[in-house]
Amino acid sequence: MDFLNVLFPVSGVKTNLLLPPLVAMVISFFTSMGGVSGAFLLLPFQMSALNYTSPSVSGTNHVFNVVAIPSGVYRYIKEGRMAWPLTWVIIAGTLPGVFLGFYIRVLYLPDPKAFKFFVGCVLLYIGSQLLKELISKGKTKPSAAKALDEKFKEQQSSRLTAGIPSHAVVKTKHVSLKRIEYEFWGEIFSFNPIVVFILSFVVGIIGGAYGIGGGSIIAPFCISLLHLPAYTIAGATLMGTFMTSIAGALFYSIPLIVSNVSSMPDWPLGILFGIGGFAGMYIGARLQKFVPQRLIKIILGLIIVFLSIRYILQGSVKSSV
Q: DSSP letters along 28-53, please?
A: HHHHGGGT--SHHHHHHHHHHTS---
Cβ-based neighbour number of residue 74 at 10 Å:
15
Rounded alpha-carbon distances, angstroms, from residue 90 to 23, 131, 211, 233: 28, 23, 16, 11
* Nearest in space to 88 (alpha carbons), one of 186, 216, 177: 177
Q: What is the pLDDT of residue 319?
A: 41
Q: What is the pLDDT of residue 321?
A: 32
Q: What is the pLDDT of residue 244?
A: 85
Q: What is the pLDDT of residue 307?
A: 72
* Nearest in space to 72 (alpha carbons), one of 171, 185, 219: 219
Q: Which helix (H) or strand (E) holds 261?
A: strand 261-262
DSSP state of 319: P
Q: Helices (DSSP H) in the chain: which residue ranges?
A: 19-31, 39-48, 56-78, 84-108, 112-135, 143-158, 193-210, 215-224, 230-252, 267-287, 293-316
* Nearest in space to 94 (alpha carbons), one of 197, 246, 232, 224: 197
Q: What is the pLDDT of residue 179?
A: 96
CA distance 240 to 238: 5
* Nearest in space to 73 (alpha carbons), one of 63, 60, 83: 83
One pLDDT digit (tens) per residue for the chain, 321 residues: 566 899 999 899 999 999 999 999 999 998 899 888 988 788 889 988 999 988 788 889 889 999 999 999 999 999 999 999 999 999 999 888 877 877 776 677 666 567 668 778 877 887 887 787 677 665 556 778 778 878 888 876 666 556 788 889 999 999 999 999 999 999 999 999 999 999 899 888 877 666 566 777 788 888 877 889 989 999 999 999 998 888 878 877 776 544 455 678 999 999 999 999 999 999 999 999 888 878 877 877 777 787 788 778 877 765 433
Q: What is the pLDDT of residue 264?
A: 83
CA distance 14 to 6: 5
